[in-house]
Structure 1
Amino acid sequence: GHYLHTIFWNVMSPQGGGRPTGALLEAIEQSFGSYDSFKKQFTEAANKVEGGGW
């Protein structure tokens, strides 16, 4: 629990993670059209989940 929370907040914070590169970025662009489109769709989906349901 604690370790996963730490990873989550380090990666998902506005200052965390950063733009992916390499194969991951290529897969995102292939699936979503662009990294910005992925972020938009991810944010919209996350906002629909209740706080206890993530």
Structure 2
Amino acid sequence: GKYEEAESMNRQTLAQSEKVLGPEHPYTLMSMSNLAGVLGRQGKYKEAESM
């Protein structure tokens, strides 16, 4: 479904952002938040909380 696709895209975005901008950059943190939101909507609460 769309959430699985969104999860994949957000994981890729986060990985690139961490690599290029670093883990503390505001855009990286926004990407992390977006991924956590998608994970939460899929019921993957433990993984979302660990972010």
Which is higher, the Rg of structure 1 or of structure 2? Answer: 1
Structure with higher RCO (Cα < 8 A, 6+ apart): 2
TM over 0.5: no
The two structures have a TM-score, normalised by structure 2, of 0.35
TM-score, scaled relative to structure 1 = 0.34
